[in-house]
C-alpha cells in the first residue's frame, strides 16, 4: 500500500478552519489510550502479538465506516519524510515516526481523527478540531472508542478503569489538550504568572510539539495531568474552565496593548515582522514562528487586514522541516531548508495583497 492523498495533502482540516475562540485557541485535541485485554502492552509483547494487533487494526476503517472515511497505513511501508509530516501535522507522535516496525496509523480523510496502532499503547485514538471544541472532540473520540471497543476487547479494570502502558494514563486513558496562541501575554511578560498556576489545577503546559519540546511562536499546549479518579466529562469541563480563564487573560493583555499609548509600538513589531517575513532570504523555524506569531497578533488586533488568517496557521505547520522537504520531494540540508522556508513564506505573504495603511 502506498501513501495516500491524506498524507500528501499539505494540511489537515483543523489547521485550515477556524473554530470557536480561534483567535487564541488554535486547536483542541482529545486522545484515548486503549489496550487489548488479550495481548501484553506493546513494550512487553512479542512480534507475533504486535502483528496480530496490527492485522486486527486493518479492519478498523470498515468498523468505523459510520464515522467517516478512514484509511489504514502500515508505518513500515511509509517513507521517513511522510512519517515526519504526520508528526508535524500532530497526527502521530515523534516516537511513532521513529520506530515503525509492526506499527500503523488509521486516518480519517479530513485528518480530524487519527488512530496510532502499537505506539506505547495498542491504540491511541485522537480527535483534533480547530478552536476550542473540547466537548465536541470528546464526543467524537467517545463514539470512535465505542465502535472499536465492540470489536477489540479492551483491557479494563472495574476499580482502576482502562489499563495503559504508562501508569499516568490509567483510568480514563484520556488526555485532552488545547493549543493556545498567547502573544499578548508573552509581550506583557505575564506568561509565567498566568500559566504557572495551572499545575495547581491538575493541568500541565507544554510547547507546541508535546512533552519536552520548546515553545516556538508563543504557542502552548495545555492538558489534563490526571487521568484517574474523575469522569471524562468532569475533566473536560475543568480544562475548559481553566482554558477560558487563560483566554480572558490573553484578551485583557490584547486590550491593554491596543490602548492608544501602546498601539504604535505593537504595530511597529507587527509590521516589522511582516516586512522581514515578506523579504528575508533565510529563515530558521524558530525565528519564522516568532514572526508569524507577531503577524497573527497584528491580524487579531486589527492592525493588518487583507491577509487570510488561516495562512498563518498553515505556515506554522508548513515551515517545519519535513513539510519543506516534502514540498521539494527530497531531503535537504538545514541551510537549504532555511532558504526554502524563506521563499515559501515570501510567496504566501505577498506584500502586494496588504492593504496600504
Mapping DSSP to helix (H, G, I), strand (E, B) and coil, where does residue 133 land? coil
In this chain, which of 189, 200, 259, 352 binds a copy of itself, going by CB under 8 A?
352
Q: Which of the residues 63 through 122 are near a copy of itself (CB under 8 A)?
A: none
Enter the C-alpha cell of residue 220: 502552548
CB of 302 to a copy of itself, least distance (A): 15
174/342 with CB nearer a copy of itself: 342
For residues 31 and 12, give the distance between their C-alpha atoms in angstroms, rounded to a whole number: 17
330/357 with CB nearer a copy of itself: 357
206/339 with CB nearer a copy of itself: 339
Other Cβ atoms closer than 10 A to 44: 9
Q: DSSP string spanning 158-217?
A: TTTEE--SSGGGTBT-EEEEEEEE-HHHHHTT-HHHHHHTGGGGTEEEE-TTSTTPPP-T
30/307 with CB nearer a copy of itself: 307
Mapping DSSP to helix (H, G, I), strand (E, B) and coil, where does residue 146 land? helix
Size of the site for a copy of itself (CB under 8 A): 19
- The site map against a copy of itself for 302-341 (x = CB under 8 A) is -------------------------------------x--
CB of 81 to a copy of itself, least distance (A): 24
- Is residue 340 a contact partner of residue 265, using CB atoms and an 8 Å limit? no
Buried b (16+ CB within 10 A) or exposed e, 22-43: bbbbbbbbbbbbbbbeebebbe
CB of 328 to a copy of itself, least distance (A): 17
152/274 with CB nearer a copy of itself: 274
* Of 294, 305, 94, 91, the residue nearest 211 (C-alpha): 94
Sign of CA dihedral 340, 338, 219, 142: positive
CA distances from 325 to 2, 137, 197, 314 (A): 18, 31, 39, 16
- The site map against a copy of itself for 171-210 (x = CB under 8 A) is ----------------------------------------
CB of 334 to a copy of itself, least distance (A): 13
Q: Which of the residues 265 through 284 are near a copy of itself (CB under 8 A)?
A: 265, 267-268, 271-272, 274-282
Q: What is the CA radius of gyration of the chain?
A: 21
**Phi-psi group of 273: left, alpha or beta (phi > 0 → left; psi -120 to 50 → alpha; rest → beta):** alpha
> Interface with a copy of itself by CB under 8 A: which range of 2-10, 104-112, 166-174, 260-268?
260-268
> Interface with a copy of itself by CB under 8 A: which range of 112-120, 136-144, 206-214, 259-267?
259-267
**Contact call for residue 9 and a copy of itself (CB under 8 A):** no
CB of 22 to a copy of itself, least distance (A): 25
161/275 with CB nearer a copy of itself: 275
Side-chain-facing half-sphere of 88: CA atoms under 13 Å: 26
The helix (run of H) or strand (run of E) holding residue 56 is helix 47-57
CB of 262 to a copy of itself, least distance (A): 12
For residues 356 and 288, give the distance between their C-alpha atoms in angstroms, rounded to a whole number: 23
Buried b (16+ CB within 10 A) or exposed e, 69-88: ebbbbbbeebeebbbbbbbb
101/279 with CB nearer a copy of itself: 279
- The site map against a copy of itself for 208-247 (x = CB under 8 A) is ----------------------------------------
CB of 98 to a copy of itself, least distance (A): 32
Site residues (vs a copy of itself, CB under 8 A): 264-265, 267-268, 271-272, 274-282, 339, 342, 351-352
Amino acid at each position: 500500500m502506498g501513501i495516500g492523498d491524506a498524507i500528501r495533502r499539505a494540511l489537515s482540516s483543523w489547521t485550515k478552519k477556524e473554530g470557536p475562540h480561534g483567535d487564541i485557541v488554535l486547536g483542541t485535541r482529545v486522545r484515548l489510550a486503549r489496550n487489548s485485554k488479550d495481548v501484553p502492552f506493546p513494550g512487553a509483547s512479542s512480534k507475533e502479538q504486535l502483528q496480530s494487533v496490527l492485522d486486527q487494526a486493518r479492519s478498523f476503517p470498515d468498523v468505523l465506516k459510520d464515522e467517516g472515511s478512514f484509511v489504514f497505513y502500515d508505518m513500515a511501508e511509509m517513507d521517513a519524510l511522510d512519517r515526519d509530516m504526520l508528526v508535524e501535522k500532530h497526527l502521530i507522535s515523534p516516537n511513532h515516526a521513529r520506530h515503525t516496525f509492526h506499527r500503523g496509523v488509521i486516518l480519517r480523510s479530513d485528518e480530524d481523527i487519527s488512530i496510532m496502532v502499537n505506539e506505547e499503547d495498542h491504540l491511541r485514538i485522537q480527535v483534533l478540531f480547530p478552536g476550542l471544541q473540547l466537548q465536541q472532540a470528546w464526543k467524537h473520540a467517545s463514539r470512535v472508542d465505542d465502535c472499536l471497543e465492540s470489536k477489540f476487547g479492551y483491557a479494563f479494570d472495574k476499580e482502576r478503569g482502562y489499563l495503559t502502558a504508562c501508569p499516568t494514563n490509567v483510568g480514563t486513558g484520556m488526555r485532552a489538550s488545547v493549543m493556545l496562541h498567547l502573544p499578548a501575554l508573552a509581550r506583557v511578560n505575564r506568561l509565567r504568572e498566568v500559566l504557572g498556576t495551572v499545575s495547581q489545577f491538575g493541568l500541565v503546559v507544554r510547547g507546541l510539539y508535546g512533552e519536552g519540546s520548546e515553545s516556538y511562536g508563543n504557542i502552548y499546549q495545555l492538558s489534563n495531568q490526571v487521568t484517574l479518579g474523575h469522569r471524562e466529562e468532569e475533566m473536560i469541563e475543568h480544562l475548559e474552565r481553566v482554558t477560558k480563564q487563560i483566554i480572558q487573560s490573553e484578551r485583557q493583555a490584547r486590550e491593554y496593548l491596543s490602548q492608544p499609548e501602546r498601539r504604535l509600538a505593537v504595530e511597529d513589531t507587527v509590521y516589522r515582522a511582516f516586512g522581514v517575513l515578506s523579504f528575508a532570504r533565510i529563515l530558521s523555524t524558530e525565528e519564522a514562528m516568532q514572526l508569524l506569531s507577531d503577524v497573527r497578533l497584528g491580524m487579531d488586533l486589527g492592525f493588518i487586514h487583507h491577509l487570510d488568517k488561516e495562512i498563518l496557521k498553515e505556515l506554522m505547520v508548513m515551515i517545519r522541516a519535513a513539510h519543506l522537504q516534502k514540498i521539494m520531494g527530497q531531503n535537504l540540508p538545514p541551510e537549504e531548508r532555511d532558504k526554502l522556508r524563506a521563499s515559501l513564506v515570501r510567496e504566501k505573504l505577498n506584500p502586494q495583497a496588504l492593504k496600504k495603511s
